[in-house]
Homo-oligomer: A and B are copies of this chain.
């Protein structure tokens, strides 16, 4: 299939009847794939007969097309003249206002060693990320109450620090599902790291390798599971896999076999996202970028920008177009919507030997059901406030579990994620019984701003803060962190001055 094609030839295949696209100068016939595309056909049809590289690259693993398209649909390569034309067009393309802003922000960012806190890392990242990436990474559901409450929950727990204890030697390490971790934290799964940095999730993999932390890799990472596995510093570096179970059991089982073969060490089954939450900031991002550009064009033409369209408003369609449901919607359309404790856990056990953790438990009752179902761990999480608005903060669920069903902690490992920014946040969760604490956005922002060095810096910050906090609490190992060292206050605390 090494035929070459001219731009002109490709351009004729621009309909649902025959739909070709160019990606990195390769030509593909995606006509038959259109109805199968998880994100709907209309996204692809925007690029029918044209170059789709810029849209495709940051959100797909490189092997996505190869896996999904039969070899005979790989039609060949673009001819030299076509490639040259695309390259020039790309070079001459006027930069968007947002691209210019990002370039300037990149020049001004401080050296990574001067980043003193996770919050500061987040601030820098939000300045250097594209508007679209910033919106996708930072968005919560609806009005972002749960997003904000996740973090605020930590401020309701104060310490009871103990003094006059020997603290010269402190060991913050622990195990997670039996795997060594230098700190009682792990990288919680997040998607689309390439939106923030060209090397994507591999930055995190290598950063974790250097600092002896464990990364959880999403089914919808922008690198494939094998690329991430290949980025490990050694085959012994543990990796966890965050599974979005495909509606088709066979495809899901195949994926489990693949990640086992690749050497992943545990499966975190996502249970809080059978469908995507209402992430308005993400959905609105393209509208706002459009408005930015329209404004620039209007200025260039010397006229005032007007958003509205005069005349009668059109009647809205039945429901929102699936294409417009935000970045994550396409992925979740193919997820299993009918999982149950009774059916899905045994199925998983049959299809993998890896430890199984349920990611996204949001109340005590389900924590108890999980223990009864015999899983190895649960991650108390509301998906970083991106799914159900007014889902309770995971730390509150942890606290209720401690109050109401302390026996659950003896049956499985309990983790939390959501809103963690400080070493003290980690220590509070551990005092209440968490085995380890996940950080998702912190590492995503870090790799966006500084690549692998950012990931290492976040690890260093957490290490410094955790060790310091242990010393000032009067403990020297994580096993000494116990409920008596924290107290839930009955007043309304001050807010951290700049938390998201």
Interface residues of A in 124-176 (CB under 8 A from B): 142-145, 148-149, 152, 155-168
Residues of B contacting A489 in the complex (Cβ-Cβ under 8 angstroms): 392, 396
Q: How large is the interface on A (under 10, 10 to 19, 20 to 34, 35 or more residues)?
A: 35 or more
Q: Which segment of A15-23, A46-54, A468-476 sits at the interface? A: A468-476
A149 touches B493 (CB 8 A): yes
A388-B469, A460-B318 in contact; A107/B306 too (CB < 8 A)?
A: yes
A496 at the interface (CB under 8 A from B): yes
A309 at the interface (CB under 8 A from B): yes
B148 touches A494 (CB 8 A): yes
B494 touches A320 (CB 8 A): no
A254 at the interface (CB under 8 A from B): no
B496 touches A340 (CB 8 A): no
Apart from the given pairs A145-B155, A156-B491, A163-B361, 8 other A-B contacts in the complex at a CB distance below 8 Å: A116-B283, A159-B392, A167-B337, A168-B338, A315-B456, A316-B456, A389-B424, A392-B489
Query: Roughly how many angstroms separate A156 CA and B145 CA in the complex, as a whole number?
Result: 11
Query: Roughly how many angstroms separate A155 CA and B278 CA in the complex, as a whole number?
Result: 17
Residues of B contacting A464 in the complex (Cβ-Cβ under 8 angstroms): 278, 319-320
Most buried by B among A307, A338, A464, A468: A468
Residues of B contacting A453 in the complex (Cβ-Cβ under 8 angstroms): 312-316
A280 at the interface (CB under 8 A from B): yes
B144 touches A497 (CB 8 A): yes
A418 at the interface (CB under 8 A from B): no
Residues of B contacting A337 in the complex (Cβ-Cβ under 8 angstroms): 166-168, 471
A492 at the interface (CB under 8 A from B): yes
Query: Roughly how many angstroms separate A463 CA and B366 CA in the complex, as a whole number?
Result: 27
Interface residues of A in 113-130 (CB under 8 A from B): 113-114, 116-117, 119
Task: Choose among B389, B460, B471 the residue that contacts A274 (Cβ–Cβ < 8 A).
Answer: B471
A284-B116, A387-B472, A422-B142 in contact; A165/B491 too (CB < 8 A)?
A: no
A409 at the interface (CB under 8 A from B): no
Report copies per complex.
Answer: 4
B108 touches A306 (CB 8 A): yes
A143 touches B278 (CB 8 A): no
A316 touches B112 (CB 8 A): yes
Can you list 12 A-B contacts (CB < 8 A)? A111-B314, A143-B497, A145-B494, A149-B494, A158-B392, A275-B471, A277-B468, A277-B472, A314-B453, A318-B460, A389-B424, A391-B472
Residues of B contacting A390 in the complex (Cβ-Cβ under 8 angstroms): 155, 157-159, 424, 428
A410 at the interface (CB under 8 A from B): no
Query: Roughly how many angstroms separate A362 CA and B337 CA in the complex, as a whole number?
Result: 41
A349 at the interface (CB under 8 A from B): no
Task: Choose among B318, B362, B492 the residue that contacts A491 (Cβ–Cβ < 8 A).
Answer: B492
Residues of B contacting A313 in the complex (Cβ-Cβ under 8 angstroms): 111-112, 450-451, 453-454
A308 touches B107 (CB 8 A): yes
A487 at the interface (CB under 8 A from B): yes
A224 at the interface (CB under 8 A from B): no
A496 touches B360 (CB 8 A): no
A472 touches B275 (CB 8 A): yes
A317 at the interface (CB under 8 A from B): yes
Query: Roughly how many angstroms separate A218 CA and B307 CA in the complex, as a whole number?
Result: 35
A97 at the interface (CB under 8 A from B): no
A164 touches B308 (CB 8 A): no
**Chain A positions 288 through 328: 1 when the CB is less than 8 Å from some CB of chain B, otherwise 0:** 00000000000000000011111011111111100000000
A57 at the interface (CB under 8 A from B): no
Residues of B contacting A310 in the complex (Cβ-Cβ under 8 angstroms): 107
A87 at the interface (CB under 8 A from B): no
A160 touches B363 (CB 8 A): yes
A365 at the interface (CB under 8 A from B): yes
**Least CB separation from A465: chain B residue:** B278
A271 at the interface (CB under 8 A from B): yes
Query: Roughly how many angstroms separate A363 CA and B161 CA in the complex, as a whole number?
Result: 7
A179 at the interface (CB under 8 A from B): no
